[in-house]
Amino acid sequence: MPKSQVGLTIEVPTEMVDATFDKVLNRLTSKAKVEGFRPGKAPRALVEARLGPGTIREQVVETMVPEVVRQAMAENSIDPIANPDVEVVELERGRPAKLKATVTVMPEVTLADPSSLSVPAEELKVDDEMLERRLEDVRQPMAEITPVERETRRGDIAVIDVEVEADGQNVPSESRTAMEAELREGVLLPELLAGLLGAFVGDERSVTVAFPESYSEPLLAGKEGTIKATVRGVKEKVLPPLDDELAKQLSDGMYENVDAYREATRKDLEASAKAVSQLARQQAAVKALVDASSVEIPEALIEQEIASHLDSLERSLQRQGLRVDRYLEYLGKTPQQWIDDERPEAEEHVKADLVLNEFAKRENIAPTDDEVTTYIETQAAQDEELKGRAQELARNPTTRRYFTSRLRRVRALDRLAEVAGKSEPKET
């Protein structure tokens, strides 16, 4: 038997067996309709003969077994992660019943020593080029836009018609007419940006793009597609000069001159860079700890994770008016093939969760009720959909458990990033 499963042999006293048979027969008799008798008034022996021993036994199992198994798990301090598999070995009136239950529980994690991991602590540094890009970004909404008759250049706005194909078929949801596309990094896909630079009105450019698994259009997610763009117009953007007056305007009067505004902008960028570096270190530390730890993953947890993936896919498709069966047909996959493809990622997610939970347990990370309440209030204040609902969320047991788990995970990630590895920071 796998380490993540526990076997139980349960003996049910004769008294409980007989009482359950009587209870079931009384219930069936009260509902039985037998010719020659009013509903529920037929003799119990007649009803029993009509139904047969198989039907009655099935009803007894459904009535007695779940509660008996639940009590046995509670008495043995067993916390199941899925419904147990139960075999009824013996069950008849006048004798003790015998059951065998196989219960899947949380597996034991062999956790690696976090301090022994090799986790490079890369720090993102803010340079003058990054600062100038940010100062350009904040002036973008103030730019003057003028049509020009020349080739497209970086920073321009190109008016384009767009068609997208994948697997030889057009993807209608991605088609656009007279779309204004700003030719800047971070705005357009890198492949499309490179393909459009230097184009004149009337030119058609085609680029091949590998769409990420997380792409919002399911028909393109994780696939290679072709984007065809026809240039219909070119517009030039002219940014206003950054002077003291504009610096004061951009900062709502907080800074009187350009130098002070520049310094404040640099500090904001450095704070963001620090947060990005921390996130990167957390991700690297989690990957290193998961890779170095070992755990026997129960099949039940993998199935639950795949079911969660399917639920997310269904919701995404429903928002676009699509059905899962049609989507799989488009992909050329059977449901089982889709499940098989999802399995490796599901296993990775489950292992990461198990390892991180074990780390949190070893570090005694357990937020107090007050800390959870404060966390809920903070999260609600930052989320438009949750604003004003903090008290309601804090009172709901299910929601409270969710936020407790989230806060515990946040703290575990922070702690792991703090203790993992011993390498010195290096600049990038």
CATH of the domain at 402: 1.10.3120.10
Of 176, 26, 163, 13, nearest to 94 (Cα)? 13
Alpha carbon distance 106, 77 (integer Å): 13
Structural domain contains residue 199: yes
Q: Which of 36-50, 86-100, 345-359 has the lowest mean pLDDT?
A: 36-50
pLDDT tens figures, 90-148:
999 999 999 999 999 989 999 999 989 888 767 888 999 999 999 999 998 899 999 99
Amino acid identity of 315?
Answer: R
Alpha carbon distance 86, 69 (integer Å): 8
Name the token pair of 137.
């970004």
- Is residue 291 located within the same domain as residue 335? yes
The total of structural domains in the chain comes to 3
pTM above 0.95, yes or no: no
- Is residue 196 located within the same domain as residue 274? no
pLDDT tens figures, 302-333:
999 999 999 999 998 888 888 899 888 888 88
- Is residue 208 located within the same domain as residue 267? no
Between 28 and 68, residue with greater pLDDT: 68
Of 274, 246, 250, nearest to 122 (Cα)? 274
Segments forming the whole domain that contains residue 83: 5-105
CATH of the domain at 185: 3.10.50.40
Alpha carbon distance 358, 408 (integer Å): 12
Residue with tokens 């994770």: 305
Structural domain contains residue 54: yes
Query: What is the structure's pLDDT at 76?
Result: 92
Structural domain contains residue 120: no
Residue with tokens 């170095």: 292
Cα angle, residue 92 at apex, residues 88 and 96 outer, rounded to 5°: 75
CA distances to 99, 367, 368, 415 from 364, in Å: 38, 9, 12, 11
Name the token pair of 89.
């070995």
Tell whether the torsion through CA atoms of 87, 89, 95 and 96 is positive or negative. Answer: negative
CA distances to 25, 31, 51, 254 from 36, in Å: 19, 15, 17, 94
Name the token pair of 40.
């529920």
As a whole number, mean pLDDT of residues 403-411 equals 93
Q: Are 112 and 417 in contact (CB under 8 A)?
A: no
Query: What is the structure's pLDDT at 1?
Result: 62
Query: What is the structure's pLDDT at 201?
Result: 96
Mean pLDDT of the chain: 90
The overall longest dimension of the chain from CA atoms, in Å, is 101
> Beta partners for 225?
166, 209
Structural domain contains residue 247: no
What single DSSP character describes residue 257? S
Structural domain contains residue 47: yes
pLDDT tens figures, 369-404:
999 999 999 998 888 888 888 888 889 999 999 999
- Is residue 148 located within the same domain as residue 214? yes
- Is residue 158 located within the same domain as residue 92? no
Alpha carbon distance 358, 409 (integer Å): 11
- Is residue 183 located within the same domain as residue 278? no
Of 135, 107, 331, nearest to 217 (Cα)? 331
Q: Are 185 and 179 in contact (CB under 8 A)?
A: no
- Is residue 96 located within the same domain as residue 151? no
What does the radius of gyration of the chain's CA atoms come to, in whole angstroms? 32
Last residue in a domain, options 74, 105, 136: 105
